[in-house]
Amino acid sequence: MTNQTLYLQTKPSRLFLKAALPGAISMLVSSLYTIFDSMFVGRFVGTTAFAALGLAFPLVIINFALADLIGIGVSVPISIFLGRKEDKKANNYFTCATLMIIITGLLMGALLYLSASFFMKLMGAEGELASLGMHYIRVYALFSPVTTMTFALDNFLRICGKLKTSMVLNIGMSVGTVLLELLFILVFNWGIIGAALGATIAMFLSTAVGLAFFIKGKLQLKFVKPMFSLALIAQIFKNGVPAFLTNVAGRVFSIIMNILLLSMGGEAAVAVYGVTMTAGGVVEQLLYGILDSMQPAIGYNYGAGQKKRVLAIEKCCLSVGASVSVLFAVVFFLFPTPIAVLFLEDISLLPLATHALRISAFTYLFRWIGHAIQSFFMALERPLPSMSLSLASAFVFPLLLLAVLSPLKLNGLWLNYAVTAFLTAILAVVLILKLKKNLFLQSKTEE
């Protein structure tokens, strides 16, 4: 089955199963490696190391943000070009983006390595806590030129219709991470450095295998002589900025949260925040896997003028996203203690962690709405509404709520994400109703 047949002719519900299921499995396995990463550090290295992981991880994600901007930003025009059968343009965008990601990975890695100590001090970390966080960051920084390609290659493989290949690579990377971390932490006793090293080596190997498929030249996207232009760079950045803002603004807010948590509750509060973020990361990864997997299909159909199919595919995304999110919200609310036990060596923190998880569960009653609609806007090259949702969800609403909920102390911090998700959902619905009306009007005009 060719990509044109898969994306343009397959019934939307069947297409969703073919495209989204491998993506969901990939991200589920990826989220499991994140859980094991946190669990190994929290249970076998200690509470201080787990708190250091919580402080350092937002900076690691920021390191990936610029590469994600390019990878996501280029995936949209590539899908649309292929839908229009403009393969030469698609290949040039693919080649230029790959080079841009490698260069930015090198620069961002160097910057992160040199600034690791500064950021630990900025967040208020001292002594062993600061030292452990700095070591974790610097391992990721050293591997940055290669590992930043990992998630972009995942997008490129899916665009080429290699959905199962993408899934297998993600599963291999996750399993490799778990095995390497077990070796480095339990056998070699390398502590938090072993955790970072296990993940980065697994990413490196996954990236090498993924690149090999494209280097052989047998996929739809091929490396060609790059022809950069201001228009090309501008289009990539225009489409990728919403995701970039989500990553950076969200992680900047996480840094602010960590500073407040350290001041209000010390290492214990930071560790509990790490539990809520790791558990919530499973939902985030699943949603990302489902929605990101459907972006090429939406782009293909939009490029081919099949707007009714675009809307039908988005309805599938919304319904499945809702089911996944609500299910996890129920699990977090009913079973918080077994979840917290996975990550915390110090059982005295369990009451606080249980309380925080129950509050955070309400986040996922609404989170899926903003995610699904923002992904839809990105697939249609609608950067303004996508950017509005990104900024509102990742920074504007959370920052405003810090002030509004401050009288509640730690409870206000735990509530922040749930209220943010609710406000973002309202904004997303308003924006999508306006766009949906315009798309229906266009479809009737074309008919």
- Whether residue 1 is contained in a domain is answered as no
The pLDDT score that the predictor gives to residue 4 is 62
- Whether residue 2 is contained in a domain is answered as no
Domain count, the chain: 1
pLDDT per position as a tens digit, 37-87: 899 999 999 999 999 999 999 999 888 888 888 998 999 899 889 888 899
- Whether residue 411 is contained in a domain is answered as yes
pLDDT per position as a tens digit, 306-339: 888 888 888 889 999 999 999 999 999 999 999 9
- Whether residue 421 is contained in a domain is answered as yes
Residue 446 has pLDDT above 50, yes or no: no
pLDDT per position as a tens digit, 279-300: 998 898 889 888 888 888 888 8
Mean of pLDDT values over 406-432: 95
Mean of pLDDT values over 155-167: 88
Supply the range of the domain harboring residue 381.
Answer: 8-446
- Whether residue 244 is contained in a domain is answered as yes
- Whether residue 360 is contained in a domain is answered as yes
- Whether residue 19 is contained in a domain is answered as yes
The pLDDT score that the predictor gives to residue 439 is 54
- Whether residue 282 is contained in a domain is answered as yes
In three-state form (DSSP H/G/I as H, E/B as E, the rest C), the secondary structure along the chain is CCHHHHHHHCCHHHHHHHHHHHHHHHHHHHHHHHHHHHHHHHHHHCHHHHHHHHHHHHHHHHHHHHHHHHHHHHHHHHHHHHHCCCHHHHHHHHHHHHHHHHHHHHHHHHHHHHHHHHHHHHCCCCHHHHHHHHHHHHHHHHHHHHHCCHHHHHHHHHHCCCHHHHHHHHHHHHHHHHHHHHHHHHHCCCHHHHHHHHHHHHHHHHHHHHHHHHHCCCCCCCCCCCCCCHHHHHHHHHHHHHHHHHHHHHHHHHHHHHHHHHHHHHHHHHHHHHHHHHHHHHHHHHHHHHHHHHHHHHHHHHHCCCHHHHHHHHHHHHHHHHHHHHHHHHHHHHCHHHHHHCCCCCHHHHHHHHHHHHHHHHHHHCHHHHHHHHHHHHHCCCHHHHHHHHHHHHHHHHHHHHHHCHHHCHHHHHHHHHHHHHHHHHHHHHHHHHHHHHHHHHHHHHC
pLDDT per position as a tens digit, 94-138: 999 999 999 999 999 999 999 999 999 999 999 999 999 999 999
pTM score, whole prediction: 0.81
